[in-house]
Amino acid sequence: MNPTEPTRRQRRKEVRPAELAAAALTLFVEKGFAATRLDDVAARAGVSKGTLYLYFDSKEALFRAVIEESVLPLIDAFEIKEEALGADPERLLRELLVEWWDSFGSTPLGGTCKLMISEAGNFPEVAAYFNDVVIGRWSALLCRVIESGMEQGVFRRGNPEALRQMVFYPLLMRSVWLHSMAGCVACRAAPDTYFDTYFDVIFRGLLAAPSQENP
């Protein structure tokens, strides 16, 4: 065997932390952070509790792994898109919001927002971490795009933070609803209809009025 080639056991050890993080995410969303035990995570991943402890010594460490494995790469990609489409803030903002929904809000990862809303008070360190590395970066990105649009005359002038909240919070609340109430309350608006209406309302309010030349 080539000495530089990893053994099967080594390859398995490299994969296992990601598997544990995926199992933890599923349980955090299903049961909540407080109700999830490390035993539950190990059982869901199909490993012993001792194996889990080789990689993670607490639920907090598992939560950080979920974010580092699955969420931070998405934000990295969003920031790369900002560099590529910065000259077209309307298109950039639209694509960022769609991609946030497709890759985060509508997926199990979106359940982390519901988790923070419901359990932040009991786990302030976890909430602070999520705020710093996820909410902070995403919010700053949206604010930069809105400020750039104002500077280019594409978006109306206003408070960037207030506009960011008005633009993003409807999607955030839809994600929270999806991961909480969707199982018991029917949604009468199909996703395509919702997003067509959402973007129509958002951009009608956000885009700058066309300049009018004097007759």
Locate the DSSP E strands across the chain. none
CB 160 within 8 A of CB 150: yes
CATH number of the domain enclosing 42? 1.10.357.10
49 is a domain residue: yes
Query: Phi and psi dihedrals of 207, rounded to 5?
Result: -65, 145
Q: What is the pLDDT of residue 11?
A: 39
Nearest to 208 by CA among 158, 139, 141: 158
CB 157 within 8 A of CB 150: yes
Cα 45–chain centre separation: 23
213 is a domain residue: no
In angstroms, the CA 51 to CA 44 distance is 13
Q: What is the pLDDT of residue 210?
A: 74
Q: What is the pLDDT of residue 21?
A: 92
Please, what are the averages of pLDDT over each run of 10 residues along the chain (215 residues)? 46 65 93 93 90 92 94 96 95 96 94 91 93 96 97 95 96 90 66 88 88 47
3 is a domain residue: no
| Strand-pair partners of 155 | 207
Assign residue 32 a region (left: φ > 0; alpha: ψ between -120 and 50; beta: otherwise).
left
Q: What is the pLDDT of residue 186?
A: 62
In angstroms, the CA 109 to CA 68 distance is 12
79 is a domain residue: yes
211 is a domain residue: no
Q: What is the pLDDT of residue 9?
A: 44
| Strand-pair partners of 207 | 155
CB 102 within 8 A of CB 19: no
In angstroms, the CA 182 to CA 194 distance is 15
In angstroms, the CA 155 to CA 187 distance is 31
Q: What is the pLDDT of residue 75?
A: 97
2 is a domain residue: no
Query: Phi and psi dihedrals of 21, rounded to 5?
Result: -65, -40
Q: What is the pLDDT of residue 10?
A: 45
Count of structural domains, the chain: 1
Nearest to 25 by CA among 71, 55, 69, 63: 63
Q: Which domain holds residue 84?
A: 8-206
167 is a domain residue: yes
In angstroms, the CA 134 to CA 6 distance is 34
Helix (H, G, I), strand (E, B) or coil at 95: helix
158 is a domain residue: yes
In angstroms, the CA 184 to CA 176 distance is 14
